[in-house]
Chains A and B, each alone.
Chain A
């Protein structure tokens, strides 16, 4: 899939994220908008997965440790054919499969997450298991930046490099915000790159909204052999909707009717601009 097609998908998924959160009256708006480009690239240009065989033992694994941004995952999974688009309207409803955090009830979801600091250990276990089976599947784990305060992440980081796992890529959705405010004010994560490097990871950084750069950073090969790969994706919380960008209040605020209209209008303009760029 070419880059402009991925960009169009990202815009469409942003629309769905806002629509379903508005419809459900619940959800994590800012973080879903900050990671949706990462997910679009992973699910459409990187992961070896198939909605026809979601349990294929040889599939790549994606684990969303920052489980609260589940609306982005549901939107991308629906777009990719893992679940019907109309089911998205059941988000957070009574007895829905689409709970407010990921669960394995949903085809394509590998692990139940939501409590922070769990995904990377699970990913390390999956990577160890796949390597034992000589399966060349790759494991991707998405972490939040505020989430890094959970000490279990660092246990997992130590174990991945100790076991020389080069079939795992962790991605940090580095939007600089968490529920209380700036990550640097709550519990700073810097120097982020140096810390992970010191834990034995090969690290690269990229603009987490730049589709071609994400595609390159998320490739299915390790940066260095025998070392786990970390991608620090520099992102903007609330990306794509001007009045949500970098606003901590949109962590889990639900857009009202008029806010939804304004947000969708902005996304429509972005889509139209993309179309003009493509035509020229």
Chain B
């Protein structure tokens, strides 16, 4: 599908998830949602009212959430287990590893309010480890959609995939990105949002919009940057990442995640393994006690903004 950014209002990805799962539930009674007192945060109250037989509430018990989701999946259901990402991917990590991934049940784990969506609530409510933790676990696709169109596609693709998936969603309204989204383009592939041979900006989730804004701003300085949304972080789209790097003088990655073990390190390893040595920077959260503030303030503090990305890219090109 193609969206026109100019006419499409900003929407939160987890709201798009809730809309899409509602469509899916209407089409298929084996499409189930399991929540851990999280239907409000997940925008799933209307879903629960419309499909009371397709939502299972387990209370504030994330380990049980994931174990139950695996058991439900073993009876032929496709299950979306929905819980805030910080709890889902830390407290229930062993259930994800053993009950879903190792045992190979088609559960989609939906981490809502991911990254620093709950910025001001502090580190307990941040998930900046989730991509790193899950990348080291065999048999799970990690998908971080950037906008409504991507989210809609990946939810549908996950429902049909028959494999373990982690879907990482944020709650702030994000603008529609340019370009055409097909299932393959988001569930398997990175997608290029604009061209430019000076720098390649690779980003995921809510960091894509600031990367795109940075590229527009750099263009005004005659620095041409390509921007790529990389929704599928694992397995990563090797060819697109290598192509993007080969066609640019420098590479900058941007993610709402620790600089350890996320999109940036995945790309760095890929480039080194393929002998591509380009000036390279990862923009993310450094290894320190996280600054406190709203999501936007945290983004500004660590440079996950148009200005931050512009500054890093400009400097990287100047130094190389």
- Using a CB–CB cutoff of 8 Å, the interface residues on chain A facing chain B are 57, 61, 103-104, 110-115, 117-118, 120-130, 132-133, 135, 151-152, 155-156, 158-159, 162-163
Contact = CB atoms under 8 A, between A and B. Distances in A.
In the complex, which of the residues A120, A124, A126, A132 has the most CB atoms of chain B within 10 Å of its own CB atom? Answer: A132
Interface residues of B, number: 27
Nearest to A130: B75
A111 B64 contact: no
A158 B60 CA distance: 11
B61 interface: yes
B76 A111 contact: no
Interface in B43-65: 53, 56, 58-59, 61, 63-64
Nearest to A137: B75
Contacts of A130: 75
Interface string B46-90: 000000010010110101101111111111110000000000000
B99 A122 contact: yes
A174 B72 CA distance: 28
Contacts of A118: 67, 94-95, 98-99
Contacts of B69: 125
8 contacts: A103-B102, A104-B103, A111-B70, A111-B71, A111-B103, A125-B72, A129-B75, A152-B63
Contacts of A122: 67-68, 70-71, 74, 99
A125 B77 CA distance: 11
B37 interface: no
Contacts of B98: 112-115, 118
A128 B71 contact: yes
Contact of B75 (A126, A155, A158, A159): A126
Interface in B189-236: none
B68 A121 contact: yes
B104 interface: yes
A61 B102 CA distance: 19
Nearest to B79: A125
A53 to B, nearest CB: 15
Contacts of B58: 155, 159
A124 B65 CA distance: 10
Nearest to A152: B63
Given A152-B63, A155-B61, A158-B59, A125 B95 contact: no
Contacts of A114: 98
